[in-house]
């Protein structure tokens, strides 16, 4: 089949983008022709995938997304695709990979005047196109996300499916992990007796870097924090005491995440909201204890594995501070080996294969 895979912005470090890449590679492996419809592509190419840029216009994020949606529809008309798979809310899809939580649910939490803003109207209309009676098959990342959609849209059971998690096997704790840990910590200038926390993710605002820094500030001087991801950390660090800043490493986007997870002692991920949060499972199978919030879809796997602690809603900074202090005093605790054992489950590694199965089997 000739498949179009539509994603507004591709770069190699985002969780959604990495899912996109895994699914594209699986489709190519099965012999499908894959065309990536994007407004922007950063980073290296994916073998077997043709990149087709969609011109967008507009002075706002929602305006550019609306323009991109129109461009994807136009490409569908001229590209003779057998299936169009969307990774953003778009009209004209055959299959929608639901990376985002339900926008109608998000809108309902806002004051009424805010709901009338053009941004909210644009994204709500795009979501309504996805959930319309003639809309695509929707692939949900977890049951909480599915239930959000069902509270707002009358989707029949044949219109959606629930996906297994999908992480790369190279995130598992490798043979020789002790040597890798020592080498990586030495390269970072971290003493073996120090405790090293990892904050990892693109989009520091949603991932809760402000919360993480407040909690980190309550810890002893022997605790260090490394911030990794495709975003600007300086706005969050400005104003911090110099002594605290000296304990923080800002590494930017990195390709050696497996090594960094082995070097770290705990993943700190107090996100405001995330449909999934792939990093939680990646840390779990790497044997890296996790501290996160229950607003992440994959927090359920942290609980299930016993690989860390989950802060319940409504969020309390004090609860995060107290739990982090307790975990740091007990590391590695039971969390490390629980995660490694949980990572032996083969069902954790088949998201891409399941998505392509659905794309091949779905009859629009």
Q: What is the pLDDT of residues 26-59, one digit of tens each?
A: 999 999 999 999 999 999 999 999 999 999 999 9
Percent of the chain topping pLDDT 90: 88
Q: Say what the pLDDT of residue 114 is.
A: 72
Same domain, 251 and 272: yes
Q: What is the pLDDT of residue 117?
A: 87
Query: Over the stretch 224-256, which tens digit does the pLDDT of each residue have?
Result: 999 999 999 999 999 899 999 999 999 999 999
Under the banding of pLDDT at 50, 70 and 90, the label for residue 166 is: confident
Same structural domain, 150 and 280: no
Q: What's the pLDDT at 111?
A: 83
User: Which residue in this structure is represented by tokens 């602690």?
Assistant: 309
Residue 161: strand, helix, or coil: strand
Distance CA 101, CA 81 (A): 27
158 and 184 assigned to the same domain:
no
Element holding 207 (H helix, E strand): helix 204-207
Q: Are residues 242 and 336 in the same domain?
A: yes
168: confidence class by pLDDT, cuts 50, 70, 90: confident
Instruction: Please tell me whether residues 153 and 287 are part of one structural domain.
Output: no
Pairing of the two strands 160-162 and 137-140: parallel
With tokens 């099965």, the residue in question is: 30
Question: Once rounded to an integer, what is the mean pLDDT over residues 156-168?
Answer: 92
Distance separating alpha carbons of residues 286 and 289, to the nearest angstrom: 9
Kindly report, residue by residue over 76-124, the tens digit of the pLDDT. 999 899 999 999 999 999 999 999 999 999 888 888 777 778 989 999 9
Distance CA 341, CA 307 (A): 10
Query: Six-digit token pair at 20?
Result: 């996109």
Query: Do 125 and 136 share a domain, yes or no?
Result: yes
Same domain, 150 and 194: no
CATH number of the domain enclosing 282? 3.40.50.2000
Neighbours of 46 (CB within 10 A): 19
My answer on whether 93 and 182 are in the same domain is no
pLDDT at residue 109, as a whole number: 82
The Cα 110–Cα 105 span in angstroms is 9
Question: What are the helix (H) ranges across the chain?
Answer: 15-29, 61-79, 103-108, 112-115, 118-131, 143-152, 177-188, 204-207, 209-216, 234-237, 242-245, 257-263, 278-286, 299-305, 317-330, 335-342, 351-361
360: confidence class by pLDDT, cuts 50, 70, 90: very high
What pLDDT shows up at residue 116? 77
Tell whether the model's pLDDT for residue 165 goes beyond 90: no
Contact between 198 and 228 (Cβ < 8 Å): yes
Q: What is the CA radius of gyration of the chain?
A: 21
In terms of Cα–Cα distance, which of 324, 288, 327, 294 is closest to 200? 288
Task: Judge if 228 and 353 occupy the same domain.
Answer: no
136 three-class SS:
coil
Our count of domains for the chain comes to: 2
Statement to judge: residues 38 and 153 lie in one domain: yes
Q: Are residues 137 and 78 in the same domain?
A: yes
- Distance between CA 97 and CA 174 in Å, rounded? 30
| Co-location of 59 and 124 in the same domain | yes
Long-range pairs of 236-244 with CB within 8 A, sequence gap ≥ 24 = 236/204, 236/209, 236/210, 237/213, 240/213, 244/216, 244/217
- The token pair at 345 is 């489950």
In Å, what is the CA distance from 323 to each residue of 158, 193, 226, 310, 312?
Answer: 42, 21, 19, 9, 11
Going by their DSSP bridges, the two strands 83-86 and 95-98 should be labelled as: parallel
As a whole number of angstroms, the distance between CA 129 and CA 190 comes to 51
Containing domain of residue 260, as a range?
A: 169-345
Whether 69 shows a pLDDT value over 80: the answer reads: yes
């Amino acid at each position: 089949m000739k498949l179009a895979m539509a994603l507004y912005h591709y770069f190699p470090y985002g969780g959604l983008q990495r899912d996109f890449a895994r699914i594209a590679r699986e489709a190519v492996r099965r012999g499908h022709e894959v065309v990536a419809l994007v407004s922007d592509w950063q980073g290296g190419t994916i073998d077997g995938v043709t990149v087709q840029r969609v011109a967008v216009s507009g002075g706002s994020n929602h305006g550019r997304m609306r323009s991109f949606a129109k461009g994807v529809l136009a490409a569908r008309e001229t590209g003779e695709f057998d299936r169009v798979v969307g990774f953003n809310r778009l009209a004209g899809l055959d299959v929608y990979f639901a990376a985002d939580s339900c926008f109608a649910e998000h809108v309902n939490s806002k004051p009424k005047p805010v709901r009338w803003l053009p941004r909210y109207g644009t994204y709500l209309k795009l979501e309504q196109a996805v959930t319309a009676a003639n809309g695509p098959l929707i692939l949900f990342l977890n049951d909480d996300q599915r239930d959000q959609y069902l509270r707002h849209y009358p989707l029949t059971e044949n219109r959606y499916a629930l996906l297994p998690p999908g992480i790369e096997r190279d995130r598992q704790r490798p043979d020789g992990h002790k040597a890798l840990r020592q080498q990586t910590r030495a390269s970072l200038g971290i003493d073996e007796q120090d405790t090293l926390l990892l904050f990892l993710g693109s989009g520091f605002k949603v991932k809760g870097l402000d919360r993480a820094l407040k909690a980190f500030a309550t810890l002893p001087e022997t605790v260090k924090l490394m911030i990794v991801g495709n975003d600007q950390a300086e706005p969050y660090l400005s104003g911090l005491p110099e002594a605290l800043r000296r304990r923080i490493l800002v590494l930017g986007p990195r390709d050696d995440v497996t090594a960094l997870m082995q070097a770290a002692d705990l993943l700190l991920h107090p996100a405001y909201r995330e449909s999934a949060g792939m990093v939680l499972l990646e840390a779990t199978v790497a044997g890296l204890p996790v501290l996160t919030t229950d607003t992440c879809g994959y927090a359920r796997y942290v609980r299930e594995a016993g690989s860390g602690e989950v802060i319940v809603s409504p969020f309390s900074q004090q609860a995060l501070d107290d739990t982090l202090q307790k975990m740091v005093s007990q590391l590695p605790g039971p969390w490390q080996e629980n995660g490694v054992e949980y990572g032996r489950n083969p069902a954790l590694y088949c998201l891409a294969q399941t998505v392509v199965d659905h794309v091949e089997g779905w009859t629009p």
